[in-house]
Every structure is written in C-alpha cells, then in structure tokens.
Structure 1
Amino acid sequence: MNLFLMAIAPVFIIILYIYFKDKYEKEPKHLLLFSFLLGSVVSIIITTILYRGFDVVLPLQNDRSILEQFIKAFFVVGLTEEFSKYIIVRYYAQTKVDFNEPYDGIMYAVMVSMGFAATENIMYVLQGGYTIALIRAFTAVPAHATFGIIMGYFMGKAKFSNNRFKLNLAGLFFAILFHGAYDFFLFINFVPGIGIGAFISLFLGIVLSRKAIKTHQENSKFKVSK
C-alpha cells in the first residue's frame, strides 16, 4: 500500500500545482476527472496496441545501436505515447464548451498525461520498489507533466485560432520531440556520461513549461473580470 501511495503521490502533487495555476476560471472537476481516467486507461490501451504494431513492423533488436535507440525513443515510445494522449485532448477535451481559454489546453493535457503517468508509475514502482518510486517521482513523472504542458500550450492556442490544425500538430510534435530526447539519452546510457542529456532535456522542458503557464495566465480572457 505504501508503494502504491508513493507511485501516485507525485502525480497528484503535479495535478494540484497545475490546477491552482488556473487562476481565473477553473475547469469542471468531472471533466478533469474523466480526462485523467481516459489518460490512465484509454491512452495505455492505445499505446499497448501501437507498441505491438511497431514490434511487428519495425522490430528493434540491438540495444547498443544508437540508431535503433533513436528510432525507439522518438518513433516508438515518444510518438506512440504522446499520440495516445493527443487524441484524447483533441477529440474529447478540446471539443468541450468549458474549454474556453488557452490555459485549458494545459489543464486538460496535463490531466490526460498524469492519468497515463499514474498507470505507468504504479506498474514500475510496484515492480521496482521504493528506490524506483523515489527516482521516478523526480524524473519520469515530472517529464510526463512537461510533455503535457508543452502539448497543451499549443492545443490551447489552437482552439481559438484559424490555424487550429497546424497548432494542434505543433503541440503533438513538440511533445514527441521532448519525450524522444529525454528517452534517447536514457536509452543510450552505454555511452559514458550521456545520461546527463536526459536531465538537461527535462530541465529545459520545465523552464519552457513555466513560461507556457505564465503566458496563458497573462492572456486569459477572464483575467480582467477578476
């Protein structure tokens, strides 16, 4: 039970942080909860199906091949996982009337991402124990949050733009880019010292995420009325 709590604690800390950053017009809790549940179940199912498809179409067998690990990081893991989150934000959250300001893109994308991260983290932590729980609380879980914020930043802009298609795809692209970069440096840890690249990628993602949050806060249409 303690392991389970350690697995989900960082997820809900991040959710609360993003929720309270939504200063001017908070989202209905039932929509946030359903977005989280879709991320924790549907995204995982989609990812699993796509993973199996990649295993058939593009089998990767050499763990010490930098090229294969690049393909795995960006096209297998990054593309698969972020696409599974993207379609939920795009075809569920973004269609809602309550999605009525750009910050909502961040809010819903983070809920979906944290749903995914919760399920993933529970599986890893229950198998790996307390050390894995502690490491992932400061690495993988915040990484998923930054991917969600970056995606949500663009998808929040997209709903209120004439370039919705391009901005939505930009959100997906940059989420994949940061996810792929983070994983790539971890996957090629057989290269001495290269793992630091993952932490640099995560740090950059956090910096950009903070700017994205601030930008949408400042541009909220509800700001003047509060």
Structure 2
Amino acid sequence: MLLVLILGMVPALLLILYMYRLDKIEPEPVGLLGRLFLFGGLTTIAAGIIEEIGMLIAGALIWNPKSLIFLLVENFIVVGIAEEGMKHLALRRISWYRPEFNYRFDAVVYSTAVALGFAAFENVMYIFNFGLGVAPIRAITAIPMHCICGIFMGHYYGEAKLCEMRHEWSKMNYYQAMSLIIPILLHGFYDFAASSVEPLLSVIFLCYVIILDVIAFLSVRRYARQDVSV
C-alpha cells in the first residue's frame, strides 16, 4: 500500500514543486497549497458520482455505447464537465477571496495544486485497482494532462482576477467562463482520443499529448515571467 501511495503521489507532487518554484515574486503559503491539493483530491469523489449519473443518462438516451456520439458525450460532456467543473468549484471556493491571491500567476499555482490533487488521488485509485504496471504510463500522460488543464484554468482565472481589480466586469465573466471551458475541451479531447481503438486516433492522441506538453511548458514559463499584481 505504501508503494501504491508513493507511485501515485510523487509525480503530482514533483509537478507542484515545479509550479511553486516558478512563482518568483511572492511564493504562496505551503498550508494554502496543501489545502488546495487536499480538496482537489476530494473532488474525485464528487466527480465520480456525477460521472456515474451522467453515464446512466447518456446510456438511456444513446443506445449504442460504441457510437461516435456516445464517446463525444461521455468524454466532453460527462467526464470533462464533471472533473474540470469540480476542480473549478474547489479552486474558486478556496482561493478567490484569499488575501494571498495578489498576483496573476498565483492563480496558476492554485489551479495546478487543485488539479494535481485530483490527479494524485485518481492515480492512487488506478494503481490500487489495476496494478503497478499502470503507474509509469500515467506518470507521463494522465498526471501531466491534469496539470496542463490546471495551467490553462489558472491562466484565465488569473486574468479574471485582474479584470475584477480593474472593474472590467464583462471581461471578468468572460475569463471566468474560459477558465472552465478551455480545460473541459482539452480534457475531453484527451479522453476521447485515448478511449478510441482506431489506429489513426491513437496516433493523433500521441501527437496531441506531445504538442500540448510543449505548449503548456512554454506557456507556463511565459505566464510566470509576465506576472503582475492583481
């Protein structure tokens, strides 16, 4: 059990450490990040319940579970909205009014802490259920994907906070919406391509993961360099 916890948690914790070290101006309190990580993990329970209900509804409305429309509904609407929606809810409830949230890049640190908490808890459950063999592949695919969704969620969430400070309410609402929509789309396509047995989609999945990793790596470093107070 200890090995399962280590293999499940360490990749996510290393990514959190990387995000923490990118925050050069004013590093965030470790206690706050720990709380975000924990609540991110706990959202796996709520997301799982929502997904079960969503799949029952999808199954009742779409008879063929192997059809393209079913896969799209499952991955973009059921899983994407459930998981990214619960992460976003935890992020906003904990961080939006915190006095420590005073720089735009703080949002990326907070969001990735939530996302990686979710990823770590989910990863432990996967390893426990399917064995240690799934740990290496999830360490380079699923966990970074959750982190990437957190990066872009945090970027738009930080832009929304900046707009709030400037009293640009319509822009604030726009960026709040984008902080949820973009991760849902990224996550949905990842799961859709990963769940397909079509060889072409398997190739697309591999290219998607590599390209998105590079874009996210370059983007998060740029976000850190261009940090401003909010």
TM-score (structure 2 length as normaliser)? 0.90
1:207 paired to 2:209: no
CA RMSD of aligned residues (A): 1.6
1:48 paired to 2:57: no
CA 194–86 in structure 1, closer or farther in 2 if over 3 Å, else same: same
Counterpart in the other structure of 1:99: 101
CA shift for structure 1 position 61? 5.5
Counterpart in the other structure of 1:143: 145
Counterpart in the other structure of 2:87: 85
CA 197–77 in structure 1, closer or farther in 2 if over 3 Å, else same: same
What SS class does the counterpart of residue 201 from structure 2 fall into?
coil
1:25 paired to 2:26: yes
Counterpart in the other structure of 1:125: 127
User: Unaligned regions of 5+ residues in structure 2, if any?
Assistant: none
Contact 1:15–1:111 (Cα < 8 Å) also in 2: yes
Contact 1:39–1:88 (Cα < 8 Å) also in 2: yes
Which aligned runs of 4 or more in structure 1 are off by greater than 4 angstroms? Answer: none
* Range with greater deviation from structure 2 (135-144 or 89-98): 89-98
What SS class does the counterpart of residue 200 from structure 2 fall into?
coil
CA shift for structure 1 position 11? 0.8
Matches within 5 A, 1:181-220: 181-189=189-197, 191-220=198-227
1:221 paired to 2:221: no
Contact 1:181–1:201 (Cα < 8 Å) also in 2: no
* Range with greater deviation from structure 2 (57-66 or 32-41): 57-66
Cα distance in 2 for residues equivalent to 1:54 and 1:18? 33
Alignment-mate amino acid for residue 29 of structure 1: V
Cα distance in 2 for residues equivalent to 1:172 and 1:10? 24
Counterpart in the other structure of 1:159: 161
Contact 1:102–1:160 (Cα < 8 Å) also in 2: yes
TM-score (structure 1 length as normaliser)? 0.91
Percentage of matched positions with identical amino acids: 30
After superposition, the C-alpha distances for 1:103-139 in whole angstroms (9 at most, x for unaligned) are: 1111011000011111100010112222201110111
Cα distance in 2 for residues equivalent to 1:178 and 1:90? 20
CA shift for structure 1 position 28? 0.9
User: Unaligned regions of 5+ residues in structure 1, if any?
Assistant: none
Cα distance in 2 for residues equivalent to 1:62 and 1:104? 44
Which structure shows the bigger proportion of residues in helix conformation?
2
Cα distance in 2 for residues equivalent to 1:66 and 1:175? 21
> How many matched pairs?
220
